[in-house]
Chains A and B, each alone.
Chain A
Amino acid sequence: MNILRFHTIFLFIIMLISIESGFAQDHNSEADSLEIYVPEEVKMLETVVITATRTPKLLKDVPVVTRVIEARDIKNVDVANVQDLLQAELPGIEFTYSMNQQVSLNMQGFDGNSVLFLVDGERMAGETLDNVDYSRLGLDDVERIEIVKGAASSLYGSNAVGGVINIISSQIDKPWLLKLNARYGTHNDQHYGGTIGFQKGRFKNTLNVQYVACDAIKLPNDGDYGTIYAHESLNARERLTYSYKGLKLTGRAGYFFRERESQQTSHDRYHDFSGGLKGDYVFSDKDDIMMSYAFDQYDKSNYSLTSHKDVRSYSNVQNSLRALYNHSFAKKTTLTIGGDFMHDYLMTYQFVNNGSHEQNTSDAFTQFDWAVTEKFNVLAALRYDYYSLSDLSHLSPKLSLMYKFKRLSLRASYADGFRAPTLKEMFMSFDMANIFMIYGNPDLKPESSHNFNVAAEYTRNSYNLTVMSFYNMVANSITTVWNTALNGMVYENMSPLTISGVDCSASANWDCGFKARLSYVYTNVDYHENELHLSSTRPHTATVRLEYGKRWPNYGFNLALTGRILSSVTCDEYTSLTELTDTQRVTYPGYTLWKLTLLQHVWRCFDISATVDNIFNYVPDYYYSNSPATTGTAFYVGLSVAID
């Protein structure tokens, strides 16, 4: 029985006591019952998070709005991958297809390369069409996912322009555990996973393996794509921890493999090898230091079904060194000083003669998290990044303020965001099917943004309401532009644009077992260019989650109805890539998708899930690249066993 399940049962027992107490006592005695009953909304605020400040901190004390998705949420909504999870939980996030069915992210107006994905704080190597390989992010072994919206380059450097999504792995705290799970659904969608772990003396070890596969899906209507490629993937992660007094050493290794049946005689293959060593040392109650080395190699290859040759066409290798020192002052005030060094190597078929380029990046940063009073918190940070190949440097400041007034928390922040040109963007020389060339540009400037956030969060008993407005001034976005002289596309910096909007979330957790969460995001992307609306970001998106659950000693259930509501979007698109003169107005239809999941807990160790996805049988009339890749209602069943 893992810690989360224990907490859930414990909380449930407490809730029962609370309910019983509530019935037994005068209903006015709310204060009395609150002493033993901890609503989830309040409990969630006691969650320790790390992403927003790079130091452990209670969610309620973080001066930057952070959204946390816990393992329990992942289980309750029964999702197959991180894309489905983020879309189910967060409005404003949309995963679509770009060319050749490569997955592309839009998060509140920001593309995939402007949102930094981390796994336990480490970057991911490799990209395809400006997005990391999201299928590497398995959900079996996840304790929680922290999402910080808005720029965070003062702590994380390049790519942290639109936000940071940090996937935190679970930690074993039992002598041993064994978890097995299987999920099967429409289109022969299969997911199998297993985790085995132990804790003995000063050692902890966890090994997780996941296998995912799905048949090709023939779409019933016309579209930008007609068949979704069949695919399978394998993801294995090993983590060993040694702890002694204030020292904690963690070694990890990972292997990932994915294959797409993209061509009749050739399949796309993706390999990733990762590893690392991390040392945390607490040498006083006020001082701790962390040092780590991380290795991540992401390869792409083409496997010929006729010659059975597997030929590598791409390899991105990142070696990173990190150091972080924290000194705590009195009254929850912390000084953080850190630095990173990364060697970035890229070989790709998109360079001349399948060549390679490499560069070193380094940075130093500091952050002062000052609890001025119990109610007032100031966080200031500054980071300097340097890129050797382009001789490019960038300074990223940040200032965040938080003021707590009874149940209300007010937050305001300014943050600089930037994204350095990638090796691909600087040195590409790629012949696009004899049609045109795509050229890199070594003189690119980094993308940069000024991000302003203002947020109010109100929490009372079982209720939580958060409203955040955001405003981003983005300069020098990097994109490809037609160059007549070269008769090809060239990477260039774009004109400025602004991305602004409102992000609201309301949640409630009633004693009777009902839970509800409603989230809404309005996003406006303004290109300031001839009054054209060039963004295909949907202005209105919302997510809904309604849950009802009960639990007894040997049985429990949770029924969850989740929904995504996405508005249509009308945008102007250039009719020619070579002459940016004529545009046509295109409307991409809105849609809603709803899912019903019944999760049953039996004898404390079995979880049985049954899911009806797309319960209203939505099928796009035409499959645009941003249409959901659904053929209608789909069914999934799952079984997981947890023994410890």
Chain B
Amino acid sequence: MKKIIGIIALVLGLSSCNGIFSGLYDVVSPDAMPFGFKEINEADHSGTIFIDARDYEKWTYINLEDKIVDTANMLHNDEEPQKWHFAIHRYDVKTNGGEARQTDFLTFDELRASGDYENGVFTADTLSKVIVDMSGMMNGVLLYHDSEVNKVLSRWLDVDTSVMPPIYTMSGKVYILRMDDEMLAALLFTDYMNESSVKGYITIRYIYPL
């Protein structure tokens, strides 16, 4: 029986057996969108950061001055980098002793036109808990880890888990990050997925120094 089927399969012409018109789609290779800093414009101090924040155990630390991205595993007690300005864990954001505020601006152009950088309430990080292990969720067990989190910066993405699948809504707002050395940065989170629409990949546009 198998031989007969094999012969028929050959007769069918295997060229179309795996589909046609594959050229309609984009092929995204893992190297197509490298992680880290890119699209850097030295003239207006802007650029884009693309990070992989899928791992629940890791914080991804961003050093805006030296344009360095580094990670540290919470459960392995990895040490934080010596110098960093803000960090991302999944969709949580924290600062390195800084403060943040959410503006009403949707673009950097609007922000620059206003010149309104510091006119507002800045909020510092607070001690919170972040999820480090989702695998026990079906048994009602989630593992958390104590960590500082900036509640204002973390508003960039609202994840409504009251429905399945969760609804992800980005604020689309520009955030001002004020470092502990009083330097300012503008942050605009533009995506939480990669080109293949896999969640946990975050794209951030920035201006530093502002």
A interface, CB within 8 angstroms of B: 99-100, 223-227, 263-266, 271, 273, 295, 297, 299, 301-302, 304, 306-307, 309-313, 315, 317, 319, 321, 341, 343, 345, 347, 356, 358, 360, 362, 386, 388, 433-436, 482, 487, 576-579
Contacts and interface: CB of A to CB of B under 8 A. Distances in A.
A263 B12 CA distance: 40
A311 B135 CA distance: 28
Contacts of B199: 433
**SS of A interface (majority):** strand
Given A345-B19, A435-B138, A309 B24 contact: no
A306 B191 contact: yes
How big is chain B's contact interface, by range? 35 or more
B16 A295 contact: yes
Contacts of A223: 163
B115 interface: no
B190 interface: yes
Contacts of B54: 434
B170 A264 contact: yes
Contacts of A299: 19, 25
26 contacts: A224-B163, A224-B164, A264-B168, A265-B192, A266-B193, A306-B190, A309-B26, A309-B195, A309-B196, A310-B25, A311-B26, A312-B22, A317-B17, A319-B16, A345-B19, A347-B18, A356-B18, A360-B9, A362-B8, A434-B54, A436-B135, A436-B138, A487-B135, A577-B138, A578-B138, A579-B139
A264 B24 CA distance: 23
Contact of A434 (B5, B27, B56, B193): B56
Contacts of A99: 164-165
Contacts of B26: 309-311
Nearest to B56: A434
Given A263-B193, A311-B26, A388 B2 contact: yes
Interface string B1-41: 11011101100100011111110111110000100000000
B137 interface: yes
B20 A297 contact: yes
A550 B163 CA distance: 49
Nearest to B27: A311
Nearest to A316: B19
B139 A578 contact: yes
In the complex, the 9 A-B pairs of residues with the closest C-beta atoms, listed nearest first: A302-B197, A312-B25, A309-B26, A266-B197, A309-B195, A317-B19, A311-B196, A360-B5, A307-B195
A271 B21 CA distance: 10
B126 interface: no
B25 A311 contact: yes
Contacts of A310: 24-26
A451 B28 CA distance: 48
A311 B18 contact: no
A149 to B, nearest CB: 32
B60 interface: no
Contacts of A315: 18-19
A345 B19 CA distance: 8
B140 A319 contact: no
B106 interface: no
